[in-house]
Structures are given as C-alpha cells and as structure tokens.
Amino acid sequence: MDVGVDATSLVGPRSGVGQTAFGLIEALVQLDEGLEVVALPIGARSGAKVRRALPQHPHVRSVRAIPSRVVDSVWSRTEWPPAELFCGRLDVFWGPNVFVPPLVKAAGVATIHDLAFIEAPELIADEDRRRTERALKTISRANRIVVPSEFVAHSVERYLPGEAQRVRVVRPGVRRVFRERGSVLTAPRRRALGIDDPYAVFVGDLGPRKNVETLLRAFEMARTVHPEAQLVLIGRPQPGWDVIAERCARIIASDAVRVVGYLPDEEVAAIVRGARVFCYPSRYEGFGITPLEAMVAGTPVIAAKTSALPETLGDHARFVHPDDVESIASAIADHFDGEPDAAELESARSYAAAFTWADAALTLLDVFDEAIAELS
C-alpha cells in the first residue's frame, strides 16, 4: 500500500497533532512491510527539516515541499494539481490535520482532532480558527474521517451531520519515552531549570484553552497550605499568554512557578515522573494525550471533567470543574499530603499502557482499506 501523508505537522516543535502523526507513521511502517509512506510537506521551507522530522525507516520518504500559496490560492478552490503529481502513484492520502489535497485515483482520509473552533471559538486564536475553517472545506475529498474519541465523533455528527457515516474512531497511543520506567530529572539539570522538590507539573500549550490562568490561581491558593510546593509549566506560549502572565505576574515571578518552555521528550518524561501530581484543567480536549502519558509514567492526574477527558482517562484521574478554583486548589494540596496510593497508581498505569500506537495503526490501516475499497 502506498500512503501519502501531509507532513506539515511534523516540522518544528510538535503539538499533539504532530506527535500523533509521527506515532502513527512509525507504527504503520513497522506493522506492514508492504506499506510505503510518502511525506508531502505543505508550506515547509526546508526539505532537510522534513526529512529529519520523519521516522527514520527505509519505507518512509519525503518529496519536494508544496508552497503555502498553492494551498491558499489553488487547492482551496480547485481540484488541480492532484497530490499524485508530487507523490507519485498512491492508494490513499492521509491528512493528519484535516486538510486533504485534490486526488485523482487515491482514496482520501482526514483526521479531525476536535471541533473546538465551532464548539469553543473563544478559546481558539483567530489564525488557527481561519486555518481550520479553510482545511475543513476540503473534507469532501475524504472517503473516511478519523477522530480520536467518541466525543469528537458525536461533535462531527452534531455539526457536520452529512459526514457522520464516514467517521471512524482511532485512539492515539502513549509514547515509549513515558512508558519506560526511567529515572527522574538529574539534580544538575533540575537546578539549571530552577525546579525544586516537591513540585506539580503541567504539560501543554500555555494559553486560554488549557486553562492555565485558573491553574495558576488555584496553585497560589494551594501554596497557602503547602508553601514548599512548586508548579512547573512545560509548553509553548500561545496567543493570550501575555494577558495571563500579566494577571498572574506575582506568582509567576516568584520561586513558586517555573515556566521552562518547550523541552525534549526525554526531559519532559523525567520531569513528569518526578512530580507529585500532573495538573490538567483544560477547558476543551478532543482526546487528552498528555494526562494519559502522565498516568503511564506513574504520576497522579488532576483533570477537568469536560469534553473528551473523562472518556480518555476513565476512572483513573481526579476530576474537577474547570472554573472551580477552590476545588482545583484542594486537589493539588491533597497530593502534597503524604504518599499516593501505590495500587491506584499501578491501576492507572496499566490502564494507560493499553493505549498503544500499534493498536492505533492497525485501526487506521482498516480505515485505509475501507476508503480504498469504496473506490474500487
């Protein structure tokens, strides 16, 4: 099977979309020796960057990048030129982030990670919303639509009822680096980052959607009970972060909070392993991979009881209302009182470990087969 893939999300610091694309591509070529992946970078300026970002495997290759203007001015309006002109013969083309280019003979499969731009537009930056709206106009090119959860499947059914019959759920896996029972971050590296024990941790984009301002206010309240506690924020600032930083300037400027930015996966996993608790009061998620990875790393999780998070995390997180600062503060403080229940942690670890990229890839292969068969 020859599979074309939009490689745009793989380049640069990876969001959840990029991590999902990488994990699935890597698992696909490991599962099926007859499968060839052709990565088509759209808007990427450097072919070398794309090649470095791809899984290193003999059945994965990239082709010349397509300028963004082709997508904006041509592919959004016409059905020419087709992706096969750049990729060669394809059986199926997969768009890991909604967009599907024109196709001649290949089947199309698109992944919709969520419909936040419809259901919670106030949480989405204008540029991201416009980009998603443009990409969604190409969904008619897809024979099948992949979503990460039943929550998103129901959202598609509600807001895009004409597409409901083509939707299939493919749940992501957790990364190997979080599964490994490795060590916590080394003392010299912790000192360099300004991280002190004991600490809580958040991993994700720093902005309104992840509810970081409420987390900061809750942590400030928890510190009145546990003044020794620290909060580590791992992630990239997003639109809206400047306002949050200004409103929460006092605690951010103190020793209580460390904003360490985007870090390598190995360091993120090590910091998560060493944390007393993983805090994730996000307002809207199509799946929620980062708290699931915290679980498999053996760290207790606090999460908002909203969107797809209860579905993804099951009974293994302590759920809070995303607007209830006192409830979040109480949950954080509780995790600095004594030691967590070992049996509960092991149960959560086993639950999260069942989410594998191999299973996700097998399901995605079935979706590819369905899409191809529909054109036969």
Q: Do 283 and 297 have their domain in common?
A: yes
User: Which position has the token pair 């509780």?
Assistant: 334
CATH code: domain of residue 103: 3.40.50.2000
130 shares a domain with 146: yes
Instruction: Please give the sequence-ordered ranges of beta strands (E in DSSP) within 166-239, or none if there are none.
Output: 167-169, 199-203, 230-234
Q: Residues 371, 282: one domain?
A: no
- DSSP H or E segment with residue 7: none
Q: Do 363 and 333 belong to one domain?
A: no
CB atoms within 10 A of CB 323: 13
188 and 325 assigned to the same domain? yes
Distance between start and end Cα atoms, the chain: 14
- Shared domain check, 348 and 205: yes
Q: What pLDDT score does 47 carry?
A: 60
Q: Minimal CA–CA distance to 16: which of 201, 149, 145?
A: 149
Same domain? 93 vs 189:
no
Domain count, the chain: 2
227 and 317, same structural domain? yes
Residues 153 and 184 placed together within one structural domain of the fold? no
Q: Are residues 183 and 112 in the same domain?
A: no
Amino acid 288 reads G
| Domain identity same for 169 and 191 | no
The domain of 141 spans 2-173+356-375
Partners of residue 145 on adjacent β-strands? 110, 167
Strands 60-62 and 318-320: unpaired
- Residue 296's nearest CA partner among 284, 312, 320, 308 is 312
- The average pLDDT across 147-157 equals 97
48-57: long-range contacts, CB 8 A cutoff, minimum separation 24: 49/11, 49/12, 50/7, 50/10, 50/11, 53/7, 53/10, 53/11, 53/22, 54/7, 54/10, 54/22, 54/25, 55/22, 55/25, 55/26, 55/29, 57/26, 57/29, 57/30
pTM (two decimals): 0.93
Q: What is the mean pLDDT of the segment spanning 79-95?
A: 94
pLDDT digits (tens, 9 = 90+) for 254-276: 999 999 999 999 999 999 999 99
Alpha-carbon distances, residue 328 vs 141, 218, 331, 349 (angstroms): 43, 6, 5, 22
Per-residue model confidence as pLDDT tens digits over 290-337: 999 999 999 999 999 999 999 999 999 999 999 999 999 999 999 999
Q: 151 and 194: one domain?
A: no
